[in-house]
């Protein structure tokens, strides 16, 4: 389960393969020694592409690499790097021959990697946007150029136990009313499971924050987040947090720091909560528990604006240090033209495909994907500007403090000061 948007990475030495599950290591060995069965070593003249990814993507990407190697005639090798080290290691090695050709990561790395000169544009533009789910290319665009090939998207939605709640609530007030009534009748222990934790969770709170009128950044003339217009302590955001405070531990208790990444899904699967705000990563556990469920958008406040989830995009970035200068556009064109490559990734790691042709294919057998994609309509791509690591920690902590009873204005002014210092 995920807590909040990615935290900062620390500098690290050169990457090393991890002692992962044997299945993942086995797949990697097959890819890196694919000529072993012939008795002769790898063809030294063949084209080889290296991909760096974290251990969470290892199994999916080794499966993808096998498919890509078969269809492209280019051997792809996957090297696994610890999640906490991946970004920093890539930035520190992209100018040497020890770095990869491709690195896989979330789109909110885009601004930092582009500013560091570590990645190159991939040859996709506005004319290609219709091939992807809404916002996928926008999320990977920095200063007018697309710097990554999107392969999957993710956002939160509302899961409800249809045995307890047959119909989706239209407003958040209706959700609270239904959940509270179930608690009063002894059919549930909590009205809602939405992870907060002691350090907060900006990612999961964001739909309610925006519906209540809050905002993280203003927008520049092109519609991109404007770091010079920070909205964390703006009057609208303070009012939004005052509303969240009313749902917190000193108010109705619908939101509580006791619900965290470790138990949020468990509360739902064990029948303690009729509603769960989460992403596709929780569905497998819900299915395994046998809970009847349905997926719908997080409902807005009755008198508020849209409840806008943050949209995350997983992407392939092409290193500026790649030994193959034609790789970026070639890889982007090949990936976009062959939906089966996206389907292969989905089969190994069920995330909503960013390529529409692939999404349409897998949605026929997994309607949950379409439901999450629908729940993400109108969402906001996680800001991909440099320095975002300075935002999530202080903003998330302010949310936890306010839900715990702290004064909203005081908490947000302190968070904004910390964020501003982090941008300097």
Domain boundaries, the chain: 22-154+311-381, 157-310+385-423
Instruction: Please say if the pLDDT value at position 352 is more than 80.
Output: yes
pLDDT band of residue 384 (cuts 50, 70, 90) is confident
- pLDDT value at position 95? 79
> Is 157-310+385-423 a CATH 3.40.190.10 domain?
yes
Please list, in sequence order, all residues whose beta carbon lies within 8 angstroms of the beta carbon of residue 318, skipping any fewer than 6 positions away.
Answer: 101, 102, 119, 120, 122, 148, 149, 327, 328, 331
137-174 tens-digit pLDDT: 989 998 889 999 999 999 999 999 999 999 999 999 99
Is 157-310+385-423 in the same CATH topology as 22-154+311-381? yes
By percentage, how much of the chain surpasses pLDDT 90? 66
Q: What gap in Å lies between CA 132 and CA 134, rounded to an integer? A: 6
Q: What gap in Å lies between CA 235 and CA 214, rounded to an integer? A: 8
pTM beyond cutoff 0.85: no
pLDDT band of residue 45 (cuts 50, 70, 90) is low
- pLDDT value at position 35? 31
Instruction: Please say if the pLDDT value at position 320 is more than 60.
Output: yes
Instruction: Please say if the pLDDT value at position 11 is more than 50.
Output: no
- pLDDT value at position 351? 87
pLDDT band of residue 43 (cuts 50, 70, 90) is low
169-210 tens-digit pLDDT: 999 999 999 999 999 999 999 999 999 999 999 999 999 999
Would you identify the CATH topology of the domain 22-154+311-381?
D-Maltodextrin-Binding Protein; domain 2 (3.40.190)
269-298 tens-digit pLDDT: 999 999 999 999 999 999 999 999 999 999
């Amino acid at each position: 389960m995920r807590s909040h948007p990615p935290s900062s990475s620390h500098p690290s030495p050169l990457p090393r393969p991890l002692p992962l599950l044997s299945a993942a290591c086995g797949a990697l060995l097959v890819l890196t020694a694919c000529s072993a069965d012939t008795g002769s070593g790898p063809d030294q003249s063949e084209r080889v592409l290296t991909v760096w990814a974290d251990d969470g993507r290892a199994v999916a990407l080794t499966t993808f690499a096998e498919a890509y190697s078969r269809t492209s005639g280019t051997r792809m090798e996957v090297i696994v790097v610890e999640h906490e080290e991946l970004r920093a290691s890539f930035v520190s090695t992209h100018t040497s021959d020890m770095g990869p050709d491709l690195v896989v990561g979330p789109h909110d790395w885009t601004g930092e990697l582009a500013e560091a000169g570590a990645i190159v544009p991939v040859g996709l533009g506005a004319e290609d946007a219709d091939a992807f789910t809404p916002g996928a290319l926008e999320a990977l665009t920095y200063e007018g150029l697309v710097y990554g090939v999107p392969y999957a998207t993710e956002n939160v939605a509302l899961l409800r136990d249809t045995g307890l709640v047959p119909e989706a609530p239209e407003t958040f007030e209706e959700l609270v009313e239904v959940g509270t009534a179930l608690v009063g009748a002894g059919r549930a222990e909590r009205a809602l499971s939405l992870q907060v934790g002691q350090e907060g969770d900006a990612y999961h709170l964001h739909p309610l924050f925006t519906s209540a009128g809050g905002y993280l950044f203003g927008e520049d003339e092109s519609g991109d987040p404007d770091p010079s217009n920070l909205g964390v302590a703006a009057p609208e955001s303070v009012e939004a947090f005052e509303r969240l405070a009313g749902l917190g531990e000193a108010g109705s208790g619908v939101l509580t720091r006791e619900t965290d990444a470790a138990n949020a899904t468990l509360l739902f699967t064990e029948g303690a909560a009729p509603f769960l705000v989460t992403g596709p990563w929780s569905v497998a556990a819900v299915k395994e528990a046998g809970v009847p469920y349905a997926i719908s958008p997080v409902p807005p406040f009755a008198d508020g604006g849209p409840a806008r989830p943050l949209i995350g995009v997983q992407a392939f970035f092409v290193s500026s240090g790649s030994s193959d200068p034609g790789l970026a556009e070639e890889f982007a064109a090949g990936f976009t033209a062959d939906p089966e490559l996206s389907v292969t990734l989905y089969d190994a790691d069920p995330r909503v495909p960013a390529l529409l042709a692939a999404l349409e294919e897998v949605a026929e057998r997994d309607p949950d994907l379409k439901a999450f994609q629908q729940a993400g309509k109108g969402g906001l791509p996680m800001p991909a500007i440099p320095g975002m690591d300075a935002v999530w920690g202080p903003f998330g902590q302010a949310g936890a403090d306010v839900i715990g009873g702290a004064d909203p204005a005081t908490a947000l002014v302190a968070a904004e000061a910390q964020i501003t210092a982090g941008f300097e």
